[in-house]
Chains A and B, each alone.
Chain A
Amino acid sequence: MAIAEGKAFAQIKGSYIKLKVKSPPASLKVGDHVVSKLKKVTKEKISSVFSEVVNKKDTQTQEEKNVMAIMTSVTQEASRELEQLRQLCKVDNKKADFDTSLVDQKNFLPQGDQLAQ
């Protein structure tokens, strides 16, 4: 969920698809899991009206909870060894060949009102 100037945008669960959520409550924050009713679907954009905020833990299936647990344990284990790995692999991260300008911002939830038209 991303919020900008009273408009909210969400990513459909399990996909890259983004949609605009109209009439969000003031208490809504980034990362909230919400249900919204689709209003308009075109090739360019999808817009919907906010219905309710759902509790993440209650709505996750058992499989999703298991995967979340696996991901948490792997991420924790990886984070613990990050510094040592950097030294071990002798990779100078400042010179790592990443070019963040190549990140396609359209594939992320918009920071501003990217989809608000």
Chain B
Amino acid sequence: MPFNQIVPTSQLVEFGYIPQSKFKVGQRLEATYLGNDQFSLLPTAWKKKDVKKGDLVTVRFVKNISGKGVTVQVAHNKQNQFGFVPICEITDEVNANVVRFVEDKKVFAARVIDFDTKSGKPVLSARESVVDDKLWKFTQPEGTSIEFKEADEERQSQGNLRNKILKYGADVALQRGDLATGYVTNIGRPGCFIQIGHNCTVSAGLNDLDDSTSFDFNSNMPVGRLVVGRISSAKEGPNGQKRYGFSTRQSLVVYGVGTVDRAKL
């Protein structure tokens, strides 16, 4: 990037600029060169030896793993440290093609939310509400439930339960009838698997994908598709973990599930 170029604030986001930071006119900024003509403005871009949960880091898009998420390279002292951003942790926006979204960004800020139990690689979230320090202080374990509810209520009412799942875990956060948006991560004979939050995949049977019997499942439900639906059932699995059924049928999404108790009819 030429040194005499004027960079607008919107472009700074690509370099790891966090929108809530306030700069004064004339203030000098320290930037870290990441290679390939890319910079980071995050103070932690290159200083940390290891990352831990809650750390904000600069990452570089590496490759797309179909229907699962994207692999990223984490910029810090430990060379070649790679991380993973699950498909539903890429953005809070209603975006049907999140892979192109991160491909265009190339370098972006993300927060470590977990570590893969097998590989030990960091799992990151690049969602705006997680990267934003002001909102993260409520979502992190130290944040109180009341403050979190106030800060996240609007997102939850619009079907974005990802912060709630991240804070409490799916078993506590979800209940029958909840509205949620997610991405199709797998398809099989019985239907689709849809990821609606970190470590939370729900299943939608063929009967629950659409109201119409003539719905063309083959062409309309590719892996990676954005969907909105409701939790239609919650059952306890053999290992004690809850299994959630999901419905994307308009009649149930709009009017809710379980609104009629047949036993009382």
Residues of A at under 8 Å CB distance from B? 11-17, 38, 41, 46, 60, 64, 66-68, 70-71, 73-75, 77-78, 80-82, 84-86, 88-91, 93-94, 96-100, 102-105, 107-109, 111
Contacts and interface: CB of A to CB of B under 8 A. Distances in A.
B190 A103 contact: no
Contacts of B66: 88-91
Contact of B100 (A77, A84, A96): A84
B265 interface: yes
Given A71-B253, A94-B218, A12 B95 contact: no
Contacts of B157: 66
A108 B211 contact: yes
Interface in B129-163: 157-159
A38 B66 CA distance: 50
Contacts of B181: 74
B226 A89 contact: no
B61 to A, nearest CB: 14
Interface string B243-257: 000000011111111
30 contacts: A11-B251, A14-B252, A15-B258, A16-B252, A46-B265, A64-B255, A67-B254, A71-B253, A74-B94, A74-B159, A74-B181, A81-B97, A82-B222, A84-B97, A85-B223, A86-B222, A88-B66, A88-B224, A89-B67, A89-B224, A93-B219, A97-B188, A98-B187, A98-B189, A98-B206, A100-B206, A103-B213, A107-B207, A108-B212, A108-B213
B96 A81 contact: yes
A104 B207 contact: yes
Most chain A Cβ neighbours within 10 Å, of B67, B187, B206: B206
Given A12-B260, A74-B181, A77-B96, 4 more contacts: A13-B251, A71-B228, A74-B159, A88-B66
Contacts of B188: 97
Contact of A91 (B189, B211, B223): B223
B262 interface: yes
A45 to B, nearest CB: 12
Contacts of A102: 189-190, 206
B204 interface: no
A46 to B, nearest CB: 7
B27 interface: no
B33 interface: no
Nearest to A13: B255
